[in-house]
Structure 1
Amino acid sequence: MDEPVLLTGAGGRVGQAILSRLADADEWRLLDREPIPEERRHGVPESETVVADVTDREAVADAVRGCRAVIHLAGDPRPNAPWDSLLANNIDGTQTVFRAAVDAGVEKVVFASSNHAVGAYEEDDRTPEMYRKDDEFRLDGTELPRPSNLYGVSKASGETLGRFYHDHHDLSVACVRIGNLTESHPPKEYERGQAMWLSHRDCAHLFDRCLVADYGYEIVYGISDNDRKYYSITRAKEVLGYEPVDNSAEFTFEAEPKE
């Protein structure tokens, strides 16, 4: 058996978008704080599932042992989550995962960051024009974080932890600032949702490219190739080989291939 990829937070929304399309494309080890029902494992055997919290250092160390890469999704996803939860789950938990990956000799960690890490850029006077397809403003991953809430602070902290472990331990790290992940596109009048939309199949493809490509440390945006966008996906295309197929201006639920 090939060395598996550890997927933390596998039972969550992003984890399910990945597994529903890539379960057969790789060997997986799934970690979640709750037992993952069989139908949500998408064929991954129960023997390769771990019920644990990412704040449990021993459990995370055991889970990552023997893996070739880690996709780290686990954490408190609530934009209004209290600081004590964000500190424990999103910051301490992320550091635990990075440290365990280095100790286990893993070469690559893909970290699920968020649009909330840069949400305050939307509070300038350039909105709502920045959501429209004729506006040329783009965030490209080279800008400093400007979190819109404490959840965004926790995600920016995760990006910085990734930078530290890359610089000091030669770990390859890709931070994906995920946009608006939904299975069907937002209403056309919801300009912001249209601009930052990420389809499930583009999400799976992007994370797959993060596992396959060669890079050092990268911050990329996780959105589809929408007509409207204020996040640049040029870096994801050039470095990772990301080739999104969906566009919020054209996508309908029926366009998603039947599984």
Structure 2
Amino acid sequence: MDDPVLLTGAAGRVGTAILGGIADKYEWRLLDREPPTGEVDHEYVVADITDEEAIREAVDGVGAIIHLAGDPRPEAPWDSVLQNNIDGTQTILEAAVDAGVEKFAFASSNHAVGAFETDERKPDIYRTHDEFRLDGTELPRPSNLYGVSKASGEVLGRYYHDHYDIDVVCVRIGNLTKDHPPIDYERGQAMWLSYRDCAHLFDRCVEADYDYEIVYGISDNDRKYYSIERAKEVLGYEPQDNSAHFDD
């Protein structure tokens, strides 16, 4: 990717993981609603994701967008996810197609499919002997209104790909933690995503060839109920970490 890459929500946890791994690989244009707290090595835009004029200026001249910005709270109320997550995603997709952006990577969430974790399936679904897998072909089953907003972002991506030919990949991010998975939390281990694998996965979202995809963003854990085969096949994802490495 020779053109700049726009990273929205750059100051958040996912943005920190991405920049921690591949900051030197691209010319970045970082966007966040809050100004940076220290020195930054890349162009930095302070703007709200729903500010149409500011977003159109931010996407001008970029080749790819990694869209993380939004209200990340699982308990976020409807008015917030509607404005920040759904309207914000539509605003930046509209600006992206008008600007001729080639690729759009959308940070979806495990909460878009959280209702698959029924009482009948738990806790076996989190254990190595269980063969149940979600692979991205299933319909969303959100566990909260935040999950509804992420499922809506996936559908918006589908619409803009089909009607405007922008390449879109939606990454249903699992449990991102920096140093290790939660040792005593089976669900967290099953959906763990390391910072290193997160950076690599979004790097592949920028570099790989695809049309429209939904993939799962977890490390190569022994415990898993998300399949990462599609991410490996289409994106060339090669995760290095496994939550089992931290077992006693």
Alignment pair present for 1:92 and 2:97: no
Aligned to 1:22: 22
Alignment check: 8 A CA contact 1:184 1:251 kept: no
SS at match of 1:186: coil
Aligned to 1:114: 109
Aligned AA (1:210): C
Provide TM-score, normalisation by structure 1: 0.93
SS at match of 2:169: strand
Per-residue CA deviations over 1:93-112 (Å, capped at 9, x if unaligned) read: 00001001000000110000
Alignment pair present for 1:59 and 2:24: no
Alignment pair present for 1:231 and 2:226: yes
Aligned AA (2:19): L
Q: How does 1:146-225 map to 2 (within 5 A)?
A: 146-225=141-220
Provide TM-score, normalisation by structure 2: 0.97
Aligned to 2:4: 4
Aligned AA (1:91): I
Separation in 2, partners of 1:58, 1:187: 41
Alignment check: 8 A CA contact 1:188 1:249 kept: no
Give the ranges of 4+ consecutive aligned residues of structure 1 lying more than 3 Å apart after TM superposition: none
Coordinate RMSD, CA, aligned: 1.3
Aligned AA (2:235): L
Aligned to 2:78: 83
Compute the displacement of 1:120 (Å): 0.1
Separation in 2, partners of 1:38, 1:187: 30
Compute the displacement of 1:38 (Å): 3.1
Alignment check: 8 A CA contact 1:187 1:194 kept: yes
Separation in 2, partners of 1:169, 1:68: 15
Give 5+ residue unaligned stretches, structure 2: none
Separation in 2, partners of 1:196, 1:241: 19
Separation in 2, partners of 1:27, 1:238: 27
Compute the displacement of 1:201 (Å): 0.3
Separation in 1, partners of 2:49, 2:151: 18
Give 5+ residue unaligned stretches, structure 1: 253-259
Compute the displacement of 1:124 (Å): 4.4
Compute the displacement of 1:89 (Å): 0.2
SS at match of 1:225: coil
Aligned to 1:247: 242
Compute the displacement of 1:188 (Å): 3.2
SS at match of 2:243: coil
Separation in 1, partners of 2:110, 2:130: 19
Count of aligned residue pairs for this structure pair: 247
Alignment check: 8 A CA contact 2:7 2:66 kept: yes
Separation in 2, partners of 1:219, 1:49: 29
Separation in 1, partners of 2:112, 2:183: 25
Separation in 1, partners of 2:132, 2:2: 43
Aligned AA (2:88): G
Compute the displacement of 1:218 (Å): 0.3
Separation in 2, partners of 1:38, 1:67: 24
Per-residue CA deviations over 1:118-153 (Å, capped at 9, x if unaligned) read: 000002411110100111000000000000000000
Aligned to 1:256: none
